[in-house]
Amino acid sequence: MPQAKLGTVLEKVISLTSERDSDALQLELAQTLFTLADVKDVTVYSAGNIKRAQHTLSNEEDLSKETAIEPDLIDVLNECLETSKTINIPYRAKRMTLFPLFCSNKQSLAVIMVEEKAGSHHHDLTIPILKIYHNFVALMNDNERDTLTGLLNRKTFDLKINSIISDLRKNNDNSIENNAESAYLSIFDIDHFKRVNDNHGHLIGDEVLLLFSQMMSKNFRDQDLLFRFGGEEFVAVFQCPDDETITNVLNRFRKVVANFEFPQVGQITVSCGFTKIDPLGFASNIVDRADVALYQAKNNGRNQVLQYEQLIATGVLTESEDIGGEIELF
């Protein structure tokens, strides 16, 4: 390989493995393939919203402006996600190859669709680059996730929540009439979890935590961010149209938990406090507001979902005017 070409390859690999955000990493992967792998078009479809292209790089201007895709392609994209297998398809008089992107536990992240340039050699460079990507994602996954539950961990939360606030702030500044969905942060706490450990032992307690985390993953969407904060406390970040919708979502999950028979333990319940994420706020204040709502739920019967803003509006709580103001409970 010529020295100049080798230098370009190394620079792209260094750039690829310097990313820590999964979406930015997928964009960098697309740019790496577009630059190095003799491809004409590269498009990334996220598992969280498979119906629209998340990133598109192309030699054709009209393709880069496209967002919506045909139903037939959606079916093939879903097949690629479900099977984690490479698929070749004809698409708009082109031969396209779909590669699944996944983390170390085979959880689907996205599909990347590429078209090779004429005369290229069957993805000779594309496949090795994808192997580097998957190895790096596996390392990121081990660092970002809780060992027991597989959910994102507290360290990852600190990075994600600041990124979310920054994005909301940009959208707030750039939109004269912003119709985007609101972001919400919720904290879940398993009721009387100490009794589970005391009566059944920590192994059974760990099984309850694992089953609870699996219920979160099953009942919430792929794009919802789910974290284990520590012990029996879990955090989730959602995008929802309004307060009523997120309240219904959280109450539906609360009922799912309450109706589940945990092995050797029986039924348990969960309390939840949540708040809207203020684009002008600070992460610590946002977490504090959700935690105050959770505290109110835990101390007034448990097995319920309470919103911080609603508690303020109804006079159950009062908030001083300073940022992150002190809270009084009546």
Instruction: Tell which wins on pLDDT, 22 or 232.
Output: 232
CATH number at residue 238: 3.30.70.270
Is 174 in the same domain as 113? no
How far is residue 43's CA from residue 58's CA, in Å, rounded to a whole number? 8
Is 133 in the same domain as 174? no
pLDDT at 330: 37
Task: Mention every residue, 6+ apart, whose C-beta is less than 8 A from residue 97.
Answer: 86, 87, 88, 113, 114, 115, 116, 123, 126
Is 215 in the same domain as 240? yes
**Percentage of the chain with pLDDT > 90?**
55
64 pLDDT exceeds 70?
no
Is 114 in the same domain as 168? no
Domain-located, residue 103 = yes
Q: What are phi and psi of 79, to 5 degrees?
A: -60, -40
Domain-located, residue 185 = yes
DSSP state string for 253-314: HHHHHHT--BTTTB---EEEEEEEPPTTS-HHHHHHHHHHHHHHHHTTTSS-EEEHHHHHHT
Is 125 in the same domain as 158? no
Is 113 in the same domain as 219? no
CATH number at residue 24: 3.30.450.40
DSSP state string for 5-21: HHHHHHHHHHHHTT--S
The strand pairing partners of 99, in sequence order, are 112
Instruction: Tell which wins on pLDDT, 212 or 116.
Output: 212
Count of positions (residues) in the chain: 330
Q: Please choose, from the candidates 41, 36, 39, the residue with its C-alpha nearest in 3D space to the C-alpha of residue 12.
A: 36
Domain boundary among 126, 144, 162: 144
Domain-located, residue 187 = yes
pLDDT at 40: 83
Is 176 in the same domain as 324? yes
Number of domains the chain contains: 2
Is 107 in the same domain as 215? no
Is 215 in the same domain as 278? yes
Q: Show the tokens assigned to 225.
A: 């961010």
Is 121 in the same domain as 74? yes
Whose tokens are 């919802």? That residue is 224
Task: Mention every residue, 6+ apart, whose C-beta is less than 8 A from residue 221.
Answer: 48
Q: Please choose, from the candidates 119, 98, 103, the residue with its C-alpha nearest in 3D space to the C-alpha of residue 43.
A: 98
The answer to which of 130-139, 246-255, 302-311 has the lowest mean pLDDT is: 130-139
pLDDT at 37: 80
| Whether the Cβ atoms of residue 112 and residue 43 lie closer than 8 Å to each other | yes
65 pLDDT exceeds 60?
no
Condensed to tens digits (0 to 9), the pLDDT of residues 179-198 reads 578 999 999 999 999 999 99
Is 312 in the same domain as 178? yes
Look over the chain and give the mean of its residue pLDDT values, rounded to a whole number: 86
**Percentage of the chain with pLDDT > 70?**
88
Domain-located, residue 149 = no
Q: What is the mean pLDDT of residues 20-39?
A: 86
Instruction: Tell which wins on pLDDT, 299 or 119.
Output: 299
Q: Predicted confidence band at 68 (pLDDT cuts at 50, 70, 90)?
A: low
Condensed to tens digits (0 to 9), the pLDDT of residues 226-263 reads 999 989 999 999 999 999 999 999 999 999 999 999 99
pLDDT at 3: 52
The domain in which residue 20 lies consists of 3-144
Domain boundary among 112, 144, 176: 144
